[in-house]
């Protein structure tokens, strides 16, 4: 008798955005492999539980992935769907990223309060409060807009928009990833895109990744069937840069990457990657660009690692050391005041 095809369960966080993204990956797999059954499962992670503490103090590593990885390693689920920017650059033993889907627009965007007249950051009055939970965005934007006030805002996308539009809320505008806004149908609320030189985006922003157990060859083959190699190479270059910098998602590292495919060659291209590190108050900023031909994902990663070393040698190490000292001080202060960290 023929054996019953294996059923694969895809899991992610329980937020609306995570569910939309996971459903999209499931549908992509199902369309290419109609003979296989794909299901979904959703759960709450540590980053979802703590909605009061700034991400900068939480540290960022595995905030959105740990509980999911435990379920996968125990065999409860088979694949994890993540925003790749939320995935630590070093995974637990026995786990691997097996698939990376084509990247959506990685830029950040500005969303102003409903019915407000402003169309850009430049138009916001001095002292306006801009909400963002990203220390990277705050650092880069303080550098260019020192007269604006930046305030942490946590919660899922719908919650953040509700906080922005609240009549008694403090925010004149918030800064979000454009990809999430578009995926949830909030594209019309975008006031302006924020790209270089104003703001370089987070490592791997806009890309979805699939994590599997390293010994699950069947899952790996499915993931490779929907992988967009150009996105994979670009994002792995960025992740290699961040890995060398020893940073989590709460370190103010920004990137901007392009990969132009070579004509007539299936796997070859010209990679250009720009990286920056910005001090928390925007007073110091280092930036560097590398451009080179690449023939493999390993070569792309090597370029990202080389970029990180240049950034470190040209002032980045001092910035990162200051950030570590600042975080440790704030964490200790919170503990002394019996606050949750």
Catalytic residues: 86
* Strand pairing category for 149-151 and 129-131: parallel
- Strand bridging mode 192-194 / 129-131: unpaired
- Cα–Cα distance measured from residue 303 to residue 238, given in angstroms and rounded to the nearest whole number: 9
The answer to whether 12 and 71 are in contact (CB under 8 A) is no
Alpha carbon distance 133, 141 (integer Å): 13
Q: Cα angle at 166 between 162 and 172, to 5 degrees?
A: 95
For the chain, the residue count is 341
Report which secondary-structure segment, H or E, holds 1. none
Strands in 129-131's sheet, in edge-to-edge order, are 149-151, 129-131, 173-177, 108-112, 192-194
């Amino acid at each position: 008798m023929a054996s019953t095809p294996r059923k694969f369960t895809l899991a992610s966080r329980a937020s609306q955005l995570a569910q939309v993204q996971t459903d999209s990956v499931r549908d992509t797999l199902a369309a290419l492999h109609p003979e296989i059954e794909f299901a979904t499962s959703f759960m709450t992670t540590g980053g979802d539980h703590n909605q009061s503490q700034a991400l900068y103090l939480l540290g960022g590593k595995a905030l959105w992935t740990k509980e999911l990885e435990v379920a996968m390693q125990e065999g409860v689920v088979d694949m994890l769907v993540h925003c790749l920017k939320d995935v630590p650059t070093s995974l637990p033993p026995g786990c691997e990223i097996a698939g990376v889907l084509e990247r959506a627009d990685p830029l950040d965007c500005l969303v102003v309060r409903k019915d407000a007249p402003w169309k850009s950051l430049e138009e916001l009055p001095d002292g306006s409060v801009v909400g963002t939970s990203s220390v990277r965005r705050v650092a880069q934007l303080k550098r260019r807009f020192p007269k604006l006030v930046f305030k942490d805002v946590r919660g899922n996308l719908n919650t953040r928009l509700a906080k922005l539009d609240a009549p008694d809320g403090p925010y004149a505008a918030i800064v979000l990833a454009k990809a999430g806004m578009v995926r949830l149908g909030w594209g019309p609320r975008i006031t302006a895109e924020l790209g270089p030189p104003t703001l370089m985006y987070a490592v791997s922003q806009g890309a979805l990744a699939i994590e599997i157990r390293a010994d699950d060859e069947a899952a790996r083959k499915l993931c490779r069937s929907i992988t967009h190699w150009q996105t994979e190479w670009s994002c792995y270059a960025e992740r290699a840069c961040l890995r060398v910098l020893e940073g989590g998602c709460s370190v103010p590292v920004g990137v901007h990457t392009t990969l132009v495919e070579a004509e007539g060659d299936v796997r070859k291209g010209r990679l250009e990657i720009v990286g920056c590190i910005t001090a928390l108050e925007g007073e110091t900023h280092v930036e560097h660009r590398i451009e080179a031909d690449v023939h493999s994902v390993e070569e792309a990663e090597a370029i990202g690692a080389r970029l990180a070393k240049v950034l470190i040698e040209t002032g980045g190490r001092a910035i990162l050391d200051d950030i570590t000292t600042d975080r440790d001080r704030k964490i200790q202060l919170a503990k002394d005041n019996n606050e949750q960290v």
